[in-house]
Amino acid sequence: MKDPQIVEEIRYRIDIVEIVADYVSLKRQGGRYTGLCPFHSEKTPSFTVSREKQYFHCFGCGTGGDVFTFVMLRENLTFPEALKKLAERAGVTLPEQKLTPTQQALRTAVEQGRALHRRAAELFFRCLREDTRARQAREYLSRRGLSDTVTVAFGLGYSPPGWDFLTERLVREGYAPEELEQFGLIVPRQGADGYYDRFRNRIMFPIFDAQGRPVAFGGRVLDDEIPKYLNSPETPLYKKGQHLYGLHKAGPAIREKGIAILVEGYMDVIACHQHDIPQAVASLGTAMTPEQGRLLLRYAPRVLICYDADRAGIEATVKAGEILTRLGAQIQVLTLPDGKDPDEFLQKHGASSFWQMADNAPAFFSFCYSRVASQYDLTTVAGKVAAVRELAPQLLIIPSAIEQEANIQWLAREIRLSEAAIMEELRGLSRNTKSYLRGDRKENPRNTNYTSAQKNETESSASTVVKGLPDRTNGDRQEQAWRYLIYWMVGTPERVRWVFERLGNEIPQVQGPLQEILEALVAVSREGQGVLVGRVAEGLVAEETKAYFSALLVEDLEGALQESVLEDCVNTLRYGWLVEEIARLEIQVEALSRSGDMEALQRLLPQLSNLQQARSRAARRFGAMPLGGRWEQRPWYKGGTTE
Ligand SMILES: [Zn+2]
């Protein structure tokens, strides 16, 4: 699907700064541009664009990439769609695409799946309006107070009882039963030939993608039958946790008002729209996913969570709140009185009461505090400590240091403890976790133990945990050397060769993001000419590495990279190798002297002494930096063994 030459051509002709400037107001700062991040909510700019490297990175939420990534995320497009958009802008004509048979088959399947869903939605829709069997369903909907306008707007339908309403019609229209099965509309009979309809005697809610195309269905029973709701399974068109119900209708209103309302179910979304609250979307039965969170925050930075007030609803609220907090959203929680859901509440009290309550809805953290406060005796020290511990995960995941501090101050006042005491408690708790507390940011994310709240969310944590490069002043010199070199090497394959020829075999061990980046860099430098950035980026898999890479590329290093600096970097790495090699030999020497193998020992000792001399020579040349001393404190200095 991707023609690398075309992609390179577009990258070459388009300036990422111009494209980003269409969405973000950018300020020039030295060799780079900064502005407020369009992917998370922030008040001080941490979104950075490098014209030199044609790359962006947000030091707040960790999102980063090239111009294609930017357009895909901002406009909610697939890669081919972004390619088309940018090709037009660049004046590049895209060749007719040659697809492999597999790609062709998938594309055909997706297109047919869309047509199929459109047709099925039409049949259900017509059935609800015209079929005599739908009388009960129509009565049900009018009893629930749904207007005709809103029923039409959301394309509600009805699947009659019986087994073959859809099967029979669609097969007659030429669709293959296997295809209907692939898209989850029909189910093969057990122990017999043939198929039957998945949805029977249910009110049908088409689930639309953000572009307003039906991609799946949810069906609700009319009585108390179980399950109340039945959804399409995952298909080539529909992946669970990727869509938000109602977004195609709510999107413009969310953008305009700057706030989204997150509710639980189909009926809540529809009731909100009917009462002129068009910003409502639902996470579709399942708990909210990070993907849904990111999708939502593309429209607005603020979210009002309004789930049911029962136990399950409160748990879902906490989960959604945590996901959205990590993404930098401003969150309020609206708990409706008497355990009502938005649908019931709006019918009884109307939209103005809803907005009144929404205006006074507490922020997510204060919602969490109220829950915890009711569980402990906050007049005792033990109760306070327990409460702070329970709230710690919610504080630790706040990406903005300023907001985190504000919440700590707020909590200190509420719970009557000093801020310092709370900070101390948090530090203690976060020692084994990746902490966002200031001054505590530099830890290897690979060794992270997530807090229990984060454990289920490794995918999102990976992208938000690494928010940029480690603090440079405390940073390890070797890592810094690699960063300078990588920044320079992504220019051309010749540069990659220059560095690795100089290093020869004397390459110190690398791990984590650096390792992945270097492997990708070396691989693409062997393949061809030209700028390597894009192809390296495509080769990266781990979210952590992608964030690391984009943070590195938007550093303002261009002026600093003179040849002498590059030579220094190479020497730093060779020195690092030297230290590792010495450590390795020392361990061998120790083992040999314990076993008494004098012969082997005599071969090894001169080698070790040569390396040690080389190390002191190099250390003298390097001047003031106590490199060896620092490295010797590092765990791998022990030669990577358990010693
Ligand atoms: Zn951001």
DSSP 237: S
Query: Is 80 exceeded by the pLDDT of residue 41?
Result: no
550 C-alpha to ligand 1 centroid (Å): 12
Token pair belonging to 439: 């001054």
The arithmetic mean of pLDDT across residues 49-54, rounded, is 90
Q: How confident is the model at residue 568 (pLDDT cuts 50, 70, 90)?
A: confident
Residues lying with their CB under 5 A of ligand 1, a single-atom ion: 37, 39-40, 58, 60-61
243 C-alpha to ligand 1 centroid (Å): 21
483 C-alpha to ligand 1 centroid (Å): 22
Token pair belonging to 255: 């953008």
Cα angle, residue 362 at apex, residues 356 and 367 outer, rounded to 5°: 140
The arithmetic mean of pLDDT across residues 44-61, rounded, is 90
Query: Is 80 exceeded by the pLDDT of residue 437?
Result: no
Query: Is 50 exceeded by the pLDDT of residue 198?
Result: yes
Q: How confident is the model at residue 413 (pLDDT cuts 50, 70, 90)?
A: very high
393 C-alpha to ligand 1 centroid (Å): 21
Give the per-residue pLDDT at 263: 94
296 C-alpha to ligand 1 centroid (Å): 14
Query: Is 70 exceeded by the pLDDT of residue 585?
Result: yes
Look at the block and give the residue holding tokens 């950075």: 48
255 C-alpha to ligand 1 centroid (Å): 17
157 C-alpha to ligand 1 centroid (Å): 40
Nearest by Cα to 154 from 227, 241, 248: 248
What lies within 8 Å, CB to CB, of 498 at 6+ separation is none
Give the per-residue pLDDT at 621: 63
The arithmetic mean of pLDDT across residues 137-143, rounded, is 92
Give the per-residue pLDDT at 465: 27
Distance CA 405, CA 390 (A): 17
Q: How confident is the model at residue 137 (pLDDT cuts 50, 70, 90)?
A: very high
Q: What is the pLDDT of residues 288-331, one digit of tens each?
A: 888 888 888 878 889 999 998 888 889 999 999 999 988 888 89
Give the per-residue pLDDT at 285: 67
- Pick 338 or 352 by higher pLDDT: 352
Distance CA 250, CA 253 (A): 5
328 C-alpha to ligand 1 centroid (Å): 8
39 C-alpha to ligand 1 centroid (Å): 5
Give the per-residue pLDDT at 436: 34
Assign 549 to helix, strand or coil. Answer: helix
Contact at 8 Å (CB) between 232 and 238? Answer: yes
Long-range contacts of 502-505 (CB under 8 A, 24+ apart): 502/567, 502/570, 503/570, 503/573, 503/574
